[in-house]
Amino acid sequence: MASVTADKTLDTSGLNCPLPVLKTKKAIEELQSGQILEVISTDPGSKADIPAFCNRTGHELVETVEEGGKYIFYIKKK
């Protein structure tokens, strides 16, 4: 269970690369600076893709949770 409270949740379950990252990019643009986006993914590739996206864009990957075949990322908008 995550210790972070998200301002918005994006469920990309069932989608494969590069869709989770593309949808994450679009969703984070709708947030205010400092708000947190929760991204739920079932694509194992997102374990590398989401942190790479954060590094590239400057958003902060606050927490990553792996449970029941899902990868849950908490990203704080810069």
For the record, the structure tokens of 36 come out as 């947190």
End-to-end Cα, the chain, rounded Å = 24
**What type of residue sits at position 60?**
E
pLDDT digits (tens, 9 = 90+) for 3-57: 889 999 999 999 998 999 999 999 999 999 999 999 999 999 999 999 999 999 9
Helix (H, G, I), strand (E, B) or coil at 14: coil
Crossing angle between the packed helical segments 46-57 and 19-29, to the nearest 10 degrees: 40
Q: Which residues partner with 64 through β-bridges? A: 73
Q: Which residues are catalytic?
A: 17
pTM of full prediction above 0.85: yes
Residue 23, pLDDT score:
98
CATH topology of domain 8-76: Translation Initiation Factor IF3 (3.30.110)
Of residues 6 and 2, more confidence is placed in 6
Residue 3, pLDDT score:
81
Domain residue spans in the chain? 8-76
Q: How confident is the model at residue 71 (pLDDT cuts 50, 70, 90)?
A: very high
Q: Residue 38 in contact with residue 6, Cβ under 8 Å?
A: yes
